[in-house]
Structure 1
Amino acid sequence: MLLVVAGAGAAGSVTFAAQAEPADPLAVYAARIVGDRARTRIVLEFDRKPEIAVRYIARPDRIVVDLPSTVFTFPEADLEARGLFRDIRYGSMDADSARLVLTADRPARLVASEVMANESGTGYRLVLDAEMVSQQDFEKLVNDQSWMTASVDATATAQRGDRVGQSEPAAPGAFVIAIDAGHGGIDAGATGAATKTQEKEITLAFAKALFDRLKGEPGIEAFLVREGDEFLSLSERVTIARQRGANLLISFHADTLRQSNIRGATVYTISDKASDRMAADLAERENLSDAVGGVSDTGEPAEVSDILLDLTRRETQAFSISMADSVVRSFEGQVALINNPHRYAGFRVLQAHDVPSILLELGFLSNKEDEKLLLDPAWRVKIADLLAAAIRRYRLPVVANGG
């Protein structure tokens, strides 16, 4: 199997297809936050009464508030992190649920979470009062509700639908490609420097372009890991690809850098040790996707360590490097590449021991030239054509060797 993860960055204009909305989501039309490093209050104004569930997750310490399907229409500045919280994220998880994730600057708990009718009687107000606690008390909160956390995570996964169980088996001998659009739902990813376009929109547009391109390739069956604006954890993405019998997973990303003058594509493979500081920083940011979505850090998968597993892992890494080289060869002279375009780092989405994997960063949203290209439909088609050529070059020797 092969897992390819791709990232992107550029500038321009494009209209993205609208995502299907739930039948009648709640709306949060106003928000405010007040307080200090000891106590902080968050108030959200809903058009209708919400049902909420609260849980706690450690490393980093977070308070997670699960909601029904909800749209957030208030200005982002109205809920900027302050007081007890160093980061606040909110957004959809799937068509039926949404989430508010409060990342604490110091351990904190909710001393009150109350839903009440507002003064005008036209809506409902959610008031969340948080206060600082000791690390020991926070860890006790996490441990005491660990059974509930697992249940909530399982429920959220079930709400997204078991696409794996419902999928049609691939044709005998087909080369199966899972196309994964990075980020999604509450995890919006990076934001374009010029257009403020969210990374999750760009990655889905590239994923769909490649899916359309591969439809005409004989012997290849492709599918989208993320079909709409939904949140998938990193482990879910890998599991979906493996359970569908994927020989290749291509996932797109469009990161940002502090240096806006840096542009171009990069291909990453997995390694315990990063090739350079930039690769390490990128992997650290991408690995935070689960934290942004309010998912528990389950760590590395438990695997039996034996000589057969080690041989499988080494073979997988060799396949990953081969695919990375094929992509670089396709892009040379056609797509801007950064210096040393094949790099490596510890990306969690690439960690399956039996799934050859690459992560392709197509460019940087912090660079206006890259951003313009990423928003150009013609550029997406070109990238899809070049990736199809890279897949053909990689696939021939793999299939010949029985991979």
Structure 2
Amino acid sequence: MIRAVLTPFLAALAVLFLSVVVHAQGFGALARLIPEESRITADEEGVTLTLSLSQPVPFRVFTLADPMRLVVDFREVAFGDWTAAQPLPQGLATLTAGAAREAGWSRLVLQLATPMTPETAAMTTDAATGRATVTLQLAPATEAAFLARIGTPPEAAGPLPTLPEVVMRPRDGRITVVLDPGHGGVDPGAVRGDHTEADLVLTFARELRDALRLTGRVEVVLTRDADVFVPLPTRVTLARAAGADLFLSIHADALAEGRAQGATIYTLSDTASDAAAEALAEQHDRADLLAGIDLRGSDDVVAGVLMDLARLDTAPRAEAFATTLVETFGAQGVRMHPQPWGEAGFTVLRAADIPSALLEIGFISDDRDLANILDAEWRARMQGAAVTAILAWADADAARMARARQ
């Protein structure tokens, strides 16, 4: 009883604290190089570049020829005059930094005196300070081995879209739903043949957005509306900036045959409901590692007790949404997994102040699921069921909150 009385106040305090932490981490601010903690060293095994940044950012690494050089693009870093003052070890001819060809990206270029190829490119983050460390190790190589790996990655060949600008809208009786198409940019997600998860779920999310807006009752924001990489915590930040009433992350993963087929809805839990759910959570969180970012510890800066208190309100609302979605899918004949509702520790669902869920629309490792996802009529039927479920949940949620205020 005491907890029930204190929960609204403490939940509000948790939301306030979260917003302060997100602001302090500065996801939208320009990252800065920290010169005193950055260096270039060399030994018999090659050259190691260590860059300390004020915050984590997406980055990509590739090599080019004529002259031989290693290129590291960041989104986006202010290097100051560090490159001009940095002594270069044997193996490096020049070191320069500046703007990349695409707006919103910075470029660090290491011109090589001898052939070297990147063996390690990793980013770690300090949960206490929010700082990030990029470590790039270059190993000696033959000229043939160097030339075999050169080339500009497709996403660096032309302008990249920026993250969506999110503006808080005045309340007019509509709810705001944030749709989060998984993966994107340097992280394609699951791949099968010519199909990538990132492209498939973006198409689905765009169509679902249009269907929801047609009801006149829902405003929809996408965390990405193009093939662009968005770090997991940034997706949550965008949802909070939009004043989301519901956050729905959309995926179409690949798992072992026989255990991965049909639509599945996931809600947050520290303990996975089964091995498949645990594997999916690890797979999704590795997306930031694959793109050069390790942000899995980002929630450590938030006081766990406050987050738990905030989730006393949001967790039941997320579970109510999952229940409604499963029931609606079943009633409208949408193919579902034998266990259609699971739980796992998905990083993207950790917004303590927003009811959040993750929807696997199917698994592209399953032939029938992939065929369904590629079928516009099937997608429209599933999207129609999702719209029905979202509206039904919104009505029930509003009634529950009205009763709580009485």
- Contact preservation (8 Å) 2:163, 2:230: no
Judge conservation of contact 1:178–1:223 (CA < 8 Å) in 2: yes
Matches within 5 A, 1:356-395: 356-395=355-394
How far did residue 220 of structure 1 move? 1.4
Distance across 2 between alignment mates of 1:48 and 1:323: 57
Match of 2:335 in 1: 336
The aligned residue for residue 285 of structure 1 is: 283
Point out which structure has higher relative CO (alpha carbons under 8 A, 6+ apart): 1
Deviation at 1:399, TM superposition (A): 1.7
Measure, in 2, the Cα distance between the counterparts of 1:99 and 1:203. Answer: 29
Task: Look up the equivalent residue of 2:217 and give its one-letter code.
Answer: G
Note the C-alpha offset of 1:329. Answer: 0.8
- Residues 187, 48 of structure 1: alpha-carbon distance in 2 compared, 3 angstrom cutoff: farther
1:47–1:183 CA distance, 2 compared to 1 (3 A)? farther
Structure 1 residues not aligned, in runs of 5+: 2-37, 54-64, 69-92, 101-111, 117-125, 133-137, 140-145, 150-158
> Secondary structure in 2 aligned to 1:176?
strand
Q: In the aligned structure 2, how far is the partner of 1:346 from the partner of 1:242? A: 19
2:211 maps to 1:213: yes
Q: Which residue of 2 aligns with 1:129?
A: 117
Please state how far the C-alpha of 1:299 moved relative to its aligned partner: 0.5
Taking only the aligned residue pairs, the percentage that are identical comes to 30
Aligned to 1:178: 178
- Equivalent residue, structure 1, for 2:150: none
Measured against aligned partners, the alpha-carbon deviations of 1:2-60 in whole angstroms (never above 9, x if no partner) come to xxxxxxxxxxxxxxxxxxxxxxxxxxxxxxxxxxxx779x984469998833xxxxxxx
Displacement after TM superposition at 1:175 (Å):
0.4
Task: Give the 5 Å matches for 1:298-377.
Answer: 299-301=297-299, 302-306=301-305, 309-333=307-331, 334-377=333-376
2:399 partner letter: A
TM-score by structure 2 length?
Answer: 0.62
Aligned counterparts of 1:217 and 1:186: Cα–Cα separation in 2 = 34
Counterpart of 2:31? none
Equivalent in the alignment of 2:261: 263
Whether the aligned pair in 2 keeps the contact of 1:265 and 1:341 (CA below 8 Å) is yes
Whole-Å separation in 2 of the counterparts to 1:303 and 1:67: 25
Q: 1:234 is aligned with what amino acid?
A: L
Q: Deviations over 1:129-163 (max 9, x none)?
A: 3579xxxxx99xxxxxx6776xxxxxxxxx96464
Question: For 1:286-336, what per-residue CA distance to the aligned partner results, in whole angstroms no more than 9, with x for missing partners?
Answer: 111110111243614222355x65332122111111010111011115111
User: Secondary structure of 1:287's partner?
Assistant: helix
Report which of the two structures shows the higher radius of gyration computed on alpha carbons. Answer: 2
**Cα deviations by residue, 1:213-263 (Å, 9 ceiling, x for unpaired):** 011123311121101010000000011001110111222111111225741
TM-align CA RMSD: 3.8
2:230 pairs with 1:232: yes
| Separation in 1, partners of 2:104, 2:68 | 14
What TM-score do the two structures reach when normalised by structure 1? 0.63
Runs of 5+ in structure 2 lacking a partner? 1-10, 12-44, 48-60, 77-99, 125-130, 135-159
- Amino acid of the residue matched to residue 277 of structure 1? A
Of 102, 111, 115, which residue of structure 2 is paired with 1:114?
111
More helix by share: 2
